[in-house]
A and B are shown apart, each in its own frame.
Chain A
Amino acid sequence: MAYSDKVVDHYNNPRNVGSFTKDTPGVGTGLVGAPECGDVMKLQIKVNLETGVIEDAKFKTFGCGSAIASSSLATEWLKGKTVDEAAKIKNTDIVNELKLPPVKIHCSVLAEDAIKAALADYKDKHAPATSGVASK
């Protein structure tokens, strides 16, 4: 199977590899997947507590090239978005951007899950209980 140029590019030059300290204010962490399934993604966002804008994002991924590319792309897209905008990123956007073949769609699903998990973690830690209700 040949990889798309974008997958190869993200694999060779992954954006935003790394970690934030979990308890830093503004940081939300998502850890999704399972080692026995061959895919684990850790995705972190650092939100400006004043503006609600994601100022930085980092990832680490155990998985195939497409999984690495999906999470790398996700961190690129997250930066500069508000928390609410970030929640709108869909796995299909990742599939289209990276031209993932059908067997790799689960990589994009996992990346979406990782985004959601990081956002949920951020909200758990930072948002007052009322605003969580209000945003629904």
Chain B
Amino acid sequence: MGLKFPIFMDAQSTTPCDPRVVEAMLPYFTEKFGHPASRNHPFGWEAEGAVDAARAKIAGLIGARDPKELVFTSGGTEAINLALKGVAEMYKEKGTHIVTTVIEQRASLDSFKRLERQGVSVTYVPVQPDGLVDVEEIRKAITDKTILISVMFANNEIGTIQDIPAIGRLAKEKGILFHTDATQAFGKIPIDVEAMGIDLLSCTAHLVYGPKGVGALYVRRKAPRVRIAPMMDGGGHERGMRSGTLPVPLIVGFGKAAEIAKAEMGTESERLAKLRDRLQDMILSSVEEAFLNGRPDRRLPHNLNISFAYVEGESVLMGLNKETALSSGSACTSSTLEPSYVIAALGASAELAHSSIRFSLHRFTTAEEVEYVGQRTIEVIKRLREMSPLYELAKEGVDLKTIKWKAE
């Protein structure tokens, strides 16, 4: 087999740049280096034209009516910060309450924490065991002070795709703004901000085979016209919402990535879903007590998240990491030293949160890689279970919940 190691199967953390993206970017580092805000000479015009073209491609991928509705940022984190803090600041006279979910990514949760310190109240709606939010729970959380609903489009760990159109309709019905963190969904599954009633949408280039360091926030201009307070003071770029010289090469790359994603999404997602399903079948058919996380029929096509009872996630990664890059919800692999709050939110035991492994496939994943990673994962799990006191106890018929554990 022509396998090349290490195999990258961690594409929900980042993706490699598509060579076509790099090719499109290159001239903008050297000969086409102009500042897009230089209005009085050809260097500026050329750069502005390139930025406009990229903006139009990104707008096209999410069904935005007007490319001007996109504000470039340094990435998904900044887009999310700008959306949440920008809306909270701009609409504070109208209300000080936000509704969100417990499984949002850290950029959202940490922005909410800061807003809470500033007097904003935030309701965190739980998710069901399948990872989906019940839209009625969001409805119940809304008060007359609610100014914003913020729900991620698809989850970064379990890939679960929320019922975005239903949430959009609810927001419209209540006259509340709706932001969605689409960093994981953008370019992977169809998004239409008009049909889905999305008022603000965060996305990033590096998860769709574009460069790191650039993202965008979609800010609706009509019905309703959404306004946000800027976080960055400066030259008033991006219609005053985000000052700072635009990174033209990155934006050109982002545009190219969006263009490719739009053209190839159909065939690519079909191919990845097949490979993902193969990996899932392989593992679940040969490993007992392996639990699929997230609702199977509402998942990103390239995502697979499995909790393996009786083994700890980091030790699984360690058994594979010379040859395969994966990620885990284990506390030992997180910066906070807490196990995955996403898996925990599904109602699973904390042990299963420590035991979750995420496989995320990408444009360049091959069938051979899937076979290899599946086989190796099975071997590593079996080896670690032979070493696991929990597996031994379970095999002896002991119910682990009946043991009084002596934690440190």
What B residues does A37 contact at CB under 8 A? 350, 407-408
Are A38's CB and B387's CB within 8 A?
no
Are A38's CB and B331's CB within 8 A?
yes
Bound CA–CA A131/B113 (angstroms): 58
Q: Which partner residue on chain A sits nearest B314 by CB separation?
A: A64
Distance between B397 CB and nearest chain A CB, rounded to angstroms:
15
What B residues does A60 contact at CB under 8 A? 387-389, 392
Are B389's CB and A42's CB within 8 A?
yes
What A residues does B390 contact at CB under 8 A? 35, 40, 62
Are A34's CB and B407's CB within 8 A?
yes
Whether a CB of chain A sits under 8 angstroms from the CB of B377 is: no
Bound CA–CA A89/B351 (angstroms): 29
Whether a CB of chain B sits under 8 angstroms from the CB of A80 is: no
What A residues does B351 contact at CB under 8 A? 35-36, 38
* Top 8 A-B residue pairs of the complex, sorted by shortest distance between their CB atoms: A34-B405, A36-B350, A42-B389, A35-B351, A38-B354, A64-B314, A34-B407, A60-B389
Bound CA–CA A36/B404 (angstroms): 12
Q: How big is the A interface, by class?
A: 20 to 34
What B residues does A62 contact at CB under 8 A? 310-312, 388-391
Whether a CB of chain B sits under 8 angstroms from the CB of A17 is: yes
What B residues does A68 contact at CB under 8 A? 315, 387
Are A3's CB and B318's CB within 8 A?
yes
Are A63's CB and B318's CB within 8 A?
no
Whether a CB of chain A sits under 8 angstroms from the CB of B223 is: no
A-facing mask of B327-363, CB < 8 A → 1, else 0?
Answer: 0001110000101000000000111001000000000
Are A65's CB and B408's CB within 8 A?
no
Q: Which partner residue on chain A sits nearest B403 by CB separation?
A: A31
Q: Which partner residue on chain B sits nearest A110 by CB separation?
A: B408
Whether a CB of chain B sits under 8 angstroms from the CB of A92 is: no
With most chain B CB atoms within 10 A of its CB, the pick from A36, A68, A106 is A36
Distance between B343 CB and nearest chain A CB, rounded to angstroms:
12
CB contact under 8 A between A33 and B406, given known A17-B387, A64-B315:
yes
Are A35's CB and B350's CB within 8 A?
yes
Q: Which partner residue on chain A sits nearest B390 by CB separation?
A: A62
What B residues does A133 contact at CB under 8 A? none
What B residues does A32 contact at CB under 8 A? 406, 408
Distance between A73 CB and nearest chain B CB, rounded to angstroms:
14
Bound CA–CA A68/B317 (angstroms): 13
Distance between A22 CB and nearest chain B CB, rounded to angstroms:
11
Whether a CB of chain A sits under 8 angstroms from the CB of B400 is: yes
Whether a CB of chain B sits under 8 angstroms from the CB of A109 is: yes
What B residues does A14 contact at CB under 8 A? 387
Within 8 A of A (CB), among B142-164: none
B-facing mask of A51-77, CB < 8 A → 1, else 0?
Answer: 000000000111111011000000000
Q: Which partner residue on chain B sits nearest A43 by CB separation?
A: B389
B-facing mask of A80-100, CB < 8 A → 1, else 0?
Answer: 000000000000000000000
Whether a CB of chain A sits under 8 angstroms from the CB of B386 is: yes
Within 8 A of A (CB), among B370-398: 386-392
Whether a CB of chain B sits under 8 angstroms from the CB of A118 is: no
Q: Which partner residue on chain B sits nearest A36 by CB separation?
A: B350
Q: Which partner residue on chain A sits nearest B407 by CB separation?
A: A34
Bound CA–CA A34/B311 (angstroms): 13
Extra inter-chain contacts (16) besides given A67-B312, A103-B332, A106-B408, CB under 8 Å = A31-B403, A33-B405, A33-B408, A35-B405, A37-B407, A38-B331, A40-B389, A62-B310, A62-B311, A62-B312, A62-B389, A62-B390, A64-B332, A67-B315, A103-B337, A109-B408
Distance between B230 CB and nearest chain A CB, rounded to angstroms:
37
What B residues does A20 contact at CB under 8 A? none
Whether a CB of chain B sits under 8 angstroms from the CB of A4 is: no
Distance between B327 CB and nearest chain A CB, rounded to angstroms:
13
Distance between B393 CB and nearest chain A CB, rounded to angstroms:
9
Bound CA–CA A109/B390 (angstroms): 20
What B residues does A65 contact at CB under 8 A? 314-315, 318
